[in-house]
Each structure stands twice: as C-alpha cells, then as structure tokens.
Amino acid sequence: MYKPELMKAGIRDVTFGERVLVVEPVNLYECTIGDDCKIGPFVEVQRSVVIGARSKIQSHSFLCEGVTIGTDCFIGHGVMFVNDLFKEGGPAGDASKWKQTTIGNHVSIGSNATILPVTICDRAVIGAGAVVVNDITQPGTYVGNPAVMKRSFAK
C-alpha cells in the first residue's frame, strides 16, 4: 500500500507589512501582504500575489498566482480568482500561459464572486456571486454572470 505525500498548509516565505492580522488556518506562500491588512481563515494566497495596504480578505477566498490587489480593498467570503482560461481544452500546465489580474484601489468584491484574468479600475463594487469576465474600466456597481454595470459612480 502506498502512502500519499502530505503537505501542510501554513505560512511560508511571506513578506508582511506592519500590523497585519492573519486568522489561521491559512495557506500563504511567497506573496506580499501590505500594512494593516486582515486575512481571514481558510484563505489561500499563492506565490507572487501582492495585496495592498489596508485590504481585507475574508474567509474561504482563493488568490492564485498573478493577482494584484490594490489598497483599501475588500474581498468577500469565498471569492475565487482564476489565472488559467483552459484555452486548449484543459489546464494549461505551463505557468507561462497563465494570465494576470489587477484590482485597483478601493474595490469591493462580494461573496462568492469569480474573477477571471481582468483589470478592475479603482472604486468598483462587484456584487455577490458576480462573474467578471471582462475588464472593468468605469467606477460603479457590477452584478450578474457575466458581470455588467448596474449603477455608475460619479467621478
């Protein structure tokens, strides 16, 4: 009988800013987390992810490689970021084919949203359960699958 290779979740090679709060258990590795951030339990933040100052990541969220979160952002419970679009009918298997996601400053993303590789401008609100498949270039509230603007914010 074969025994599986066991890997433990934990915190490894993370660059933390000052006054960061992390609620375990988490899986954080080779990422950067800015000053005054809060990371909830059951969150995974993978290598090369950058989280800006004063941002909050709620429980059960997944931030894959290639994600950058701005300052003063809120990521709700169970938010999933995607970096592989399965363009060849299955997983890319090669990190060079993965895409980047950039979230601006003062962005709020509701629980259970899914964020494909996109750019989201400053001051956007993504509704709970929304699926963001296109870049968001104007501040406002976005809802649905695919996410569309429901309300624009004055500039």
The per-residue pLDDT for range 80-133, each reduced to its tens digit, is 999 998 888 888 888 888 999 999 999 999 999 999 999 999 999 999 999 999
Does 155 score more than 80 pLDDT? no
State which H helix or E strand residue 124 sits in.
strand 124-126
Closest CA to 81 of 45, 48, 30, 40: 45
User: Model-level pTM?
Assistant: 0.94
Would you kindly state where each structural domain of the chain is located, as residue ranges? 11-87+97-152
CA angle 27, 108, 52 (to 5 degrees): 55
What is the tens place of the pLDDT at every residue in 12-63? Answer: 999 999 999 999 999 999 999 999 999 999 999 999 999 999 999 999 999 9
- What CATH code is assigned to 11-87+97-152? 2.160.10.10
Q: How far apart are the C-alpha atoms of 120 and 116, rounded to whole Å?
A: 11
Residue 85 Cα distances to 81, 95, 143, angstroms = 11, 12, 21
